[in-house]
Amino acid sequence: MTNEPHAESLRIFEEIGVDRDPENLYHQTIEHVLVAAELVGMQHHQRIILAQPMNEIMVHFPVLMDNGHHELFKGYRVQHNNALGPFKGGIRYHSHVNLDDVKSLAALMTMKCALVGVPFGGGKGGVKCNPRELSPDELQRVTRRFVSAIQNEIGPDYDIPAPDVGTDSRVMGWFADTYALTTPPHESHDSMRVVTGKPVDIGGSLGREKATGQGLVDVLVEMLPELGIDIEGMSFSVIGYGNVGGWTARLLDALGAKLVAVLDHTGAIASENGLSVRDLSDYVDEYGGVQGFSGAEAIDTEAFYKSPVDVFIPAALEQMIGEQEAMWMNCRVVAEGANAPTTPAGDLILMQRGIEVLPAILCNAGGVTVSYFEWVQNKTSTRWTEEEVDERLNTHMVSAAKKVNQARLMYECDLRTASFCAACEQLKRVYEHRGVFP
């Protein structure tokens, strides 16, 4: 796909009253959706439904800070589409959280669930805050007040949040507890199911913490051989050493791949001979970032992007690979662990340079897949072993990768467009069965 959206998609922007801005992340995402919807022949009413979220919820709530003052926080929950099942999507705590980005991430969840074959729709939420500047008590109070502010908008069979940037299993534990305590007693036995990514002791699934990284590695194992890359011995770099980046690095390291460069919010490091992933993981756990790690050389951002690798894995925030970064990059394949890490301009350069991009809605769908497994285990009061979880995850990921490859051949397009086409095919089938009320 090029930067120019198809004429039909432009007409839909006009029709729904959106002044298209190519820099706006939500507009970029919807362009991908609309172009794919057009390619697979979705009907007009199906396309306008996908062009806007079903619900956009914005809340403000006060929180008592450790210094005795109250601070007002802004939170969001966007519910994009629930044609396939309950809304599903993470909760982000970050100082740049804003409505359009949350809308974009919610729409991506709709596409991801459709692609990977889990019966959920798309949602996303967040609180505008810097969790690194909050004490654990403040973080807990922000979480509990946020849950109470959106209490009536979520539910175990309606909208099920999960962790995302800046939130983790501990936050999900507080989330579930608050929801359960504020639910009428006769319903509360099942109410912890309102959120996934919980600690294992309170109903979390084995294998959930590493699931997004594991799913990404499953996709690489499936797709790299066709691209002429052997995982054993390949070199890779990552942006972000949090949940997705850290787990991907550990799992690829275990398969014999070599991590040569990392960039995170604290700085960049590299080692041509390969970094010790175990030592780096311990270091990041202790110090919160890669800067200062003694087993590598400190480099600047430009040198990080220019580091020669077989596979480059962005696993931090959106829109980090722009035009300049795409020109710098020295890799054969980009595997998108983060959501929307590549700008349209960056995408075009990578395409022109013959760098293959494995798209985010495929690569990072492992998280929502194992979230679905957690939800099923909670609903049926069962517990699967980690091996069972990994095996079922692999089935979903391999099947999704095959669907993307087939769509690429069928619609003669790049892998990103193909991934959206495969997702839209599923939504089209569902809408054709369900119709539109009344």
Is 347 in contact with 416 (CB distance < 8 Å)? yes
321 binds ligand NAD (CB under 6 A): no
- Using the rule CB under 6 A, which residue among 149, 165, 261, 357 binds ligand NAD? 165
- Using the rule CB under 6 A, which residue among 249, 252, 316, 334 binds ligand NAD? 316
Taking the complex as a whole, how short is the minimal distance between the CB of residue 289 and ligand NAD, in angstroms? 6
| Binding positions for ligand NAD, 248-307, rule CB under 6 A | 263-265, 289
Contact segment (CB under 6 A) with ligand NAD among 134-142, 164-172, 177-185, 218-226 equals: 164-172
Distance CA 42, CA 235 (A): 41
Beta bridge partners of 124: 78
C-alpha separations of 297 from 87, 233, 311, 433 in Å: 44, 21, 20, 57
Nearer to ligand NAD, 156 or 341 (CB): 341
Q: How many whole angstroms from its chain centre is CA 292?
A: 28
H or E segment at 427? helix 415-434
Strands of 122-128's sheet, edge to edge?
55-64, 70-81, 122-128, 87-94, 159-163
Distance CA 313, CA 258 (A): 13
Nearer to ligand NAD, 317 or 335 (CB): 317
Taking the complex as a whole, how short is the minimal distance between the CB of residue 263 and ligand NAD, in angstroms? 5
Distance CA 213, CA 340 (A): 16
State the sign of the Cα–Cα–Cα–Cα dihedral 214, 287, 197, 26. Answer: negative
| Binding positions for ligand NAD, 176-215, rule CB under 6 A | 212
Distance CA 256, CA 232 (A): 4
Is 103 assigned a catalytic role? Answer: no
- Using the rule CB under 6 A, which residue among 183, 243, 271, 343 binds ligand NAD? 243
Nearer to ligand NAD, 111 or 239 (CB): 239
Backbone angles phi, psi at 402, to 5 degrees: -65, -40
Distance CA 285, CA 253 (A): 18
Taking the complex as a whole, how short is the minimal distance between the CB of residue 244 and ligand NAD, in angstroms? 4
Nearer to ligand NAD, 6 or 170 (CB): 170
Q: Where are the alpha helices (DSSP H) in 288-364?
A: 301-306, 323-328, 344-352, 360-363
Q: Which of 112, 124, 198, 210 is catalytic?
A: 124
244 binds ligand NAD (CB under 6 A): yes
Reduced to 3 states (helix: H, G, I; strand: E, B; else coil), residue 111 is: helix
Taking the complex as a whole, how short is the minimal distance between the CB of residue 338 and ligand NAD, in angstroms? 3
In the stretch 361-400, what mask flags binding to ligand NAD with x, by CB under 6 A?
A: ---x--x---------------------------------
- Using the rule CB under 6 A, which residue among 239, 257, 269, 389 binds ligand NAD? 239
349 binds ligand NAD (CB under 6 A): no
Contact segment (CB under 6 A) with ligand NAD among 1-9, 16-24, 243-251, 425-433 equals: 243-251
Q: Which of 89, 358, 402, 370 is nearest to 214 (CA)?
A: 370
164 binds ligand NAD (CB under 6 A): yes
Taking the complex as a whole, how short is the minimal distance between the CB of residue 242 and ligand NAD, in angstroms? 2
Distance CA 377, CA 372 (A): 9
- Using the rule CB under 6 A, which residue among 26, 76, 241, 304 binds ligand NAD? 241
Nearest residue to the partner ligand NAD, using Cβ = 242
Contact segment (CB under 6 A) with ligand NAD among 73-81, 136-144, 160-168, 375-383 equals: 160-168
Distance CA 20, CA 345 (A): 16
Distance CA 302, CA 305 (A): 5
Taking the complex as a whole, how short is the minimal distance between the CB of residue 163 and ligand NAD, in angstroms? 5
Where residue 208 falls (left for φ over 0; alpha for ψ -120 to 50; beta otherwise) is alpha
Q: Radius of gyration of the chain from Cα atoms?
A: 21
Contact segment (CB under 6 A) with ligand NAD among 150-158, 315-323, 373-381, 423-431 equals: 315-323
Nearer to ligand NAD, 42 or 108 (CB): 108
222 binds ligand NAD (CB under 6 A): no
What residue type is 389 in one-letter code? V
Distance CA 128, CA 121 (A): 24
- Using the rule CB under 6 A, which residue among 339, 343, 369, 378 binds ligand NAD? 339
Residues with a catalytic annotation lie at 124
Interface ranges with ligand NAD (CB under 6 A): 163-166, 212, 239-245, 263-265, 289, 315-317, 337-339, 364, 367
